[in-house]
Homo-oligomer: A and B are copies of this chain.
Amino acid sequence: MLEYNHGGAIQAAAKKYRIALSEWLDLSTGINPDPWPVPLLAMRCWHQLPQVDDGLSDIAANYYHSKNALPVSGSQAAIQALPGLRKVSKVGFFAPSYSEHWRAWQRAGHQCVVVHRDEINQALPPLDVLVVVNPNNPTGHLLDTTTLLNWHAQLSARAGWLLVDEAFMDMTPESSLSTYSHRENLIVLRSLGKFFGLAGARVGCVLAESALLQQLASQLGPWTINHAARTVAKLALQDEAWQQLTKQRLIEDSERLIGLLRRFDLQPHGGTALFQWIRSSDALAIHQGLATQGILTRYFAEPMSIRFGLPLLEDEWHRLEEALARVC
């Protein structure tokens, strides 16, 4: 395997537990299991080079209520490129959180430190960059905009960045910093992978002041998102009817998931509409017990915890319920 492998958890599980790929119920991601329905695309979406003046940027800015939006090939592309835009910096991260940020900044030679929420007043002054995932993955913890804007003001006063990864923010837009993202030294990442369920399309957006976005765009080079994915993203971001229905359905389904877990004494410590996170000293046993039944969850060793994504079909809900009954 020459390419950098990542996200192949289901393949690894299939091998480890000797259960065929097609037999698995994959609850290991926080991806909406009922994605925006992509239609047959015109051949020009595959034939002609993508054009940056195709309207995607404006459509995204409108959806995110931001002044500027730079479409990127998944927020991962921005996560990797942003550390290259700063000279060596001291970069703070909360833990546990989505680890790709830490990996990218460390790889680029920056000094990475874990900061604690309750010691932030002492931790913030020496930092050049603070990276926040909001709502956080996997804890689901949601920071309020007042707190974040306060941190941003402190960082920005010394040309430091607040970088907020809002991959799971679509369900709670009132908590987004997107409307403030044109402020200097504030960078917001959004993604079409989670709420829209389009993880395979690799489309995200960076929201920030335009000078920084231009720098980033120039670094990423031309044609980073293919024509087909740009077309799909434009359609999905404009489909307000689907977005409304989906929000309602995700609220109902996440409540159903919380209720189901509670029935087995699994009390979520946090979550979003797309996943629930449970701290438990039994997390590994539950994870493995479900995996032997072909249900994949995400296990975290530190702190010991387990994350459940949403089932979609009625028989998947029943399958999860029966499997939990055997394990818990």
Binding site for B on A (CB under 8 A): 1-8, 11, 29, 31, 35, 37-38, 40-41, 43-53, 57, 68-71, 73-74, 76-77, 80, 193, 197-202, 210, 213-214, 217-218, 220-229, 232
- CB distance B2 to A210 under 8 Å? yes
CB contacts (< 8 Å) of A11 on chain B: these are: 51, 53
A-B contact pairs, 24 of them (CB 8 A): A1-B52, A1-B53, A2-B52, A2-B68, A2-B213, A3-B52, A3-B70, A4-B221, A11-B51, A29-B49, A31-B47, A37-B43, A40-B40, A47-B200, A49-B200, A50-B200, A73-B223, A73-B226, A76-B221, A76-B222, A200-B227, A201-B226, A202-B225, A226-B229
Q: How far is the CA of A4 from the CA of B57 in the complex (A)?
A: 12
CB contacts (< 8 Å) of A198 on chain B: these are: 46-47
Of B3, B29, B70, B210, which is within 8 A of A217 by CB? B3
Give the nearest-CB partner of A71 in chain B: B3
- Shortest A304–chain B CB gap in Å is 26
Give the nearest-CB partner of A79 in chain B: B221
Of B68, B201, B224, which is within 8 A of A73 by CB? B224
Of B47, B197, B202, B222, which is within 8 A of A4 by CB? B222
Query: Which of A3, A53, A221 neighbours the largest number of chain B CB atoms within 10 Å of its CB?
Result: A3
Q: How far is the CA of A35 from the CA of B77 in the complex (A)?
A: 28
Q: How far is the CA of A146 from the CA of B35 in the complex (A)?
A: 52
CB contacts (< 8 Å) of A221 on chain B: these are: 4, 76-77, 80
CB contacts (< 8 Å) of A43 on chain B: these are: 35, 37-38
Of B38, B49, B53, B224, which is within 8 A of A46 by CB? B38
- CB distance B223 to A226 under 8 Å? no
Q: How far is the CA of A35 from the CA of B71 in the complex (A)?
A: 26
Give the nearest-CB partner of A52 in chain B: B3
CB contacts (< 8 Å) of A52 on chain B: these are: 1-5, 8
Give the nearest-CB partner of A221 in chain B: B80
